[in-house]
Amino acid sequence: MRAAISAIALLSIAGCMSVPGVTEINETSVVLAQDGVRPAKSDLRIDFGRAQAGAIAAVTRLQNRAPVSIQTNTECGAGPVTTARWANGLSLNFMDGAFLGWVAQAPYSGTSTVEGLTVGAEMAAFSVQPQQTSLGQEFRIDGIWALASDGETKVDTMWAGLTCFFR
């Protein structure tokens, strides 16, 4: 028991997280939430506001792969946004070194805290009235946004928090 508490304390100090009970690590080990991301099969959280280095390290461990790129876009309306992108379609967005948003696009196959809301879900499965925007058909459920590009019926992009979409 003391060893488990010490391990959790050390990981918290480092700004990183382990996932107790998860034996197979992949993109389904990350649950997308309105206030950050969560390790599947755990009560631990990686909330918005966490330091960039710690958030990237934790998600890298959860997915068993490093981001394919970390780049800063200086043309975002809110200011410079740094994005860490993984090959599976998950991106984490940061401003001033703080984790403030995420975006998931195909081929991402992870889950969210909204039952059934995933990349690839049929929009008709949700009791929402999508709004037409310059990006496509958008809707929001419990703080998570979803988008189906024009002419599509399936969600192809999801996000919460800070983004850098040009409308």
Q: pLDDT tens for residues 30-57?
A: 999 999 999 988 889 999 999 999 999 9
Confidence check: pLDDT of 24 > 50: no
Q: What is 52-99 written as a DSSP string?
A: HHHHHHHHHHHHTS--SEEEEETT-TTS-EEEEE-TTSEEEEEETTEE
Provide the pLDDT for residue 165: 85
Beta bridge partners of 38: 31
Confidence check: pLDDT of 1 > 50: no
- Asked if residue 39 is part of any domain, the answer here is yes
- Asked if residue 86 is part of any domain, the answer here is yes
Mean of the per-residue pLDDT values for the chain? Answer: 84
The values of phi and psi at residue 5, to 5°, are -65, -40
pLDDT tier, 166 (very low <50, low <70, confident <90, very high otherwise): confident
- Asked if residue 123 is part of any domain, the answer here is yes
Question: What is the phi-psi region of residue 26: left when phi exceeds 0, alpha when psi lies from -120 to 50, beta otherwise?
Answer: beta
Note down the domain range covering 83.
Answer: 2-161
- Residues 79-121 have pLDDT tens digits of 999 999 999 999 999 999 999 999 999 999 889 999 999 999 9
- Contact by Cβ (8 Å): 146, 137: no
- The CATH number of residue 129's host domain is 2.60.460
Q: 147: Cβ–Cβ under 8 A, 6 or more apart, which residues?
A: 135, 136, 137, 138, 155, 156, 157, 158, 159
Confidence check: pLDDT of 18 > 80: no
Domain count, the chain: 1
In the chain, % of residues over pLDDT 90? 68
- Asked if residue 166 is part of any domain, the answer here is no
- Residues 141-151 have pLDDT tens digits of 999 999 998 88
**In this structure, is the dihedral angle defined by the CA atoms of residues 12, 17, 21 and 23, taken in order, positive or negative?**
negative
- Asked if residue 167 is part of any domain, the answer here is no
Confidence check: pLDDT of 134 > 80: yes
Provide the pLDDT for residue 41: 86
